[in-house]
Amino acid sequence: MGFSITWCAVREEGAQKLLEQLGLSPTGKIEEFPESLISTAKLDTGWRVIWYNEYGCPFLRPDDLGSISSEQDVLLCLVEEHVMASSLEMWSGGKRKWWISHKGENGACRSAIQDPPSALQ
């Protein structure tokens, strides 16, 4: 059995506002590995991760991301290991700036990049 998850990350200075927008609040429970449906983690890099333990988070859909990213950058990642698929996208200014996906379920791996960041060009 593999991962089937969604996570997003925002810079720490915007994390509390995002949690409030999503109606989330800390429980004080600490998990060594995120087993709850929703977990958050503050990273040493200055980013906060919101981890959703299913593929496709109901409050991180494109319309939601447009609103959330209007004031801050948002990274969104989806991983579905059962079918060997993953994607990563960057949202900023209310729009998706770039998107990368990988699917390897049916033999040869297929990747797609839409509006790649300059580091990938």
Prediction pTM value: 0.85
The domain 4-120 is classified under which CATH number: 3.30.70, 3.40.50, 3.40.1130, 1.25.40?
3.30.70
Q: Rounded to whole angstroms, how far apart are CA atoms 20 and 24? A: 6
Q: Are strands 74-80 and 85-92 parallel, antiparallel or unpaired?
A: antiparallel
For the chain, the domains span 4-120
pLDDT recorded at residue 117:
61
Averaged over successive runs of 10 residues, the pLDDT of the chain (121 residues) comes to 90 93 89 92 95 95 93 94 88 91 68 62 45
* Helix extents (H) in the chain: 12-21, 62-68
Predicted local confidence at residue 15, as pLDDT:
94
